[in-house]
Structures are given as C-alpha cells and as structure tokens.
C-alpha cells in the first residue's frame, strides 16, 4: 500500500509538471506542430476507448474536447474514482483496476477496445509484471497510446507490441508513443489452443 501511494504521488507530481495550457490534449497532438486533427481522426472512428490509469480524467477530457463522446470512453484507476467523478461526471464507466489487476487478475478477459490510452502512468508499472500487462492489453486492443515524461516504459516487440510512431514535445519533453499489437506475437492462451488443436488432429490420424 505504501508503494502504491508513493507511485500515485509521483504520478501527480509529473502531471503537475505537464503544461497547463492544453495538458494531455496538447501532448496527444504534439508532433512537429500537428494540430488536434490527428487526435480527433484517430479517436472519433473508434468504437470504445479505455483511459487506462486515468487519474482525474485528463485524457478523457482531452478526447471530449477533440470531439469524442464521453459515452464511448471507459476509465480505470485504483485510486482516483472520486477525483475522476468530480471532474468528468458519472457518464463514463469507471473501474478500480490497477496494473497488477490487469496483468495478473484477468479483469480484461472478454473485453475489447479500439484503443487504450495511458497517460503519465505506465512508466511506473513494476518491471516484474510489465510484460504480463502488455500481453493482457494486446489481447484487449489493437492500438496502445502511451504518454510519458521518461524514456520508460520500454516495450520491446516480444511484449506483443510494435512501436508505430513516436512524437516528443521539444519544450516539455513529453513523449507520445503509438503502438500496434504485433500480429506475429500470439498470447500464451492462443498458443496453447493451437498446440491442443494440433495434438487432437494428430491423435485422430493415428486412431
């Protein structure tokens, strides 16, 4: 619990250092002077969006300002339900999921989103289950957008994601990374299903 509180305080300090004018909205759109049009074109076409580790709703509000209905957004954070509700309202479904819940608890099983956005948080995920977190997200979406003030998190292809694009704000040094789920990287469950299918077919041939 102490470590969780420390991680949350660190997140809030980093968010406080982010630019106040547009906040995450500017960071999402920042790429050599590009406007919010790219954010809108990516998000408006989506079915549902997950604001992962949502804090008090910075990304959700940025998406709303870009033209996305909040009724198409889900949000999760283990600490900030009251702050999120005060700022965004009750229209957005909110879940108390932590990174650990997603990585090890199977809370995303059977769920799908067009895109998952994680702002100023994923670099705080303990390395011990970052790979499991990435695998769970890859099973739930085809696109992941990570905003981070650091070089971390390091998400290599073997974690199930391919870096499609990276933009860096030259003033704040906030990085926006857009990943696509690696088609060649199957989850362990999918691999097990394939193995079982092969075994069944092989057994049937022998009989």
Residue 31: pLDDT above 50? Answer: no
Other beta carbons less than 10 A from residue 201's beta carbon: 9
Superfamily of domain 49-185: Vaccinia Virus protein VP39 (3.40.50.150)
User: Average pLDDT in the 22-43 region?
Assistant: 38
Where is pLDDT greater, at 181 or 3? 181
pLDDT at 83 over 70: yes
C-alpha separations of 150 from 11, 80, 110, 141, 172 in Å: 12, 22, 32, 24, 11
pLDDT of residue 116: 98
Q: What average pLDDT does the segment 142-161 reach?
A: 95
Name the pTM for this structure. 0.71
Looking at residue 8, its pLDDT comes to: 59
Whether residue 161 is predicted with pLDDT greater than 80 in this model: the reply is yes
What is the per-residue pLDDT for 77?
A: 98
CB 116 within 8 A of CB 139: no
Least Cα distance to 13 among 121, 145, 125 occurs for 121
Question: What is the rounded average pLDDT of the residues 121-137?
Answer: 96
Whether 93 contacts 75, CB under 8 Å: yes
Indicate the average pLDDT of the chain.
80
Residue 174 has pLDDT above 90, yes or no: yes
Return d(Cα 128, Cα 201) in angstroms, integer: 37
Mean of pLDDT values over 34-53: 58
Confidence of residue 201 (pLDDT cuts 50, 70, 90): low
pLDDT tens digits for range 183-195: 644 444 555 555 6
Going from the C-alpha of 93 to that of each of 21, 109, 137, 143, 183, the distances in angstroms are 27, 17, 18, 20, 29
Q: Which of 111-125, 143-157, 191-205 has the lowest mean pLDDT?
A: 191-205
Within 8 A by CB and 6+ apart from 80, the residues are 8, 54, 55, 56
pLDDT reading at 20 higher than 70: no
More confident: 79 or 20: 79
**Is there a cis peptide before residue 52, judged by omega within 30 degrees of 0?**
no
The span from the CA of 51 to the CA of 55, in Å, is 9
- Cα 164 to Cα 145: distance, rounded to the nearest angstrom: 10
C-beta separation of 51 from 71 below 8 A:
no
DSSP string spanning 37-55?
A: HHHHHHHHT-S-EEEET-T
Indicate the domain borders of the chain. Answer: 49-185
Distance, CA of 106 to CA of 103 (rounded, Å):
7
């Amino acid at each position: 619990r102490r470590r969780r509180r420390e991680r949350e305080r660190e997140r809030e300090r980093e968010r406080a250092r982010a630019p106040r004018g547009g906040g995450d909205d500017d960071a999402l759109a920042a790429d050599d002077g590009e406007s919010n049009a790219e954010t809108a074109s990516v998000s408006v076409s989506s079915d549902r969006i997950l604001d992962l580790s949502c804090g008090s709703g910075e990304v959700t509000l940025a998406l709303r300002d870009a033209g996305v209905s909040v009724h198409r957004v889900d949000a999760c954070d283990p600490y900030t339900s009251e702050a999120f509700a005060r700022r965004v309202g009750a229209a957005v479904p909110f879940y108390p999921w932590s990174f650990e819940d997603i990585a090890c608890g199977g809370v995303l099983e059977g769920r799908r989103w067009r895109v998952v956005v994680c702002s100023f948080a994923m670099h705080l995920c303990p390395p011990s289950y970052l790979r499991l977190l990435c695998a769970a997200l890859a099973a739930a979406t085809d696109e992941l957008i990570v905003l981070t003030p650091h070089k971390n998190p390091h998400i290599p292809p073997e974690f199930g994601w391919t870096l499609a694009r990276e933009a860096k704000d030259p003033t704040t040094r906030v990085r926006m990374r857009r990943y696509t789920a690696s088609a060649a990287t199957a989850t362990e469950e999918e691999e097990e299903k394939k193995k079982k299918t092969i075994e069944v077919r092989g057994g049937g041939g022998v009989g």
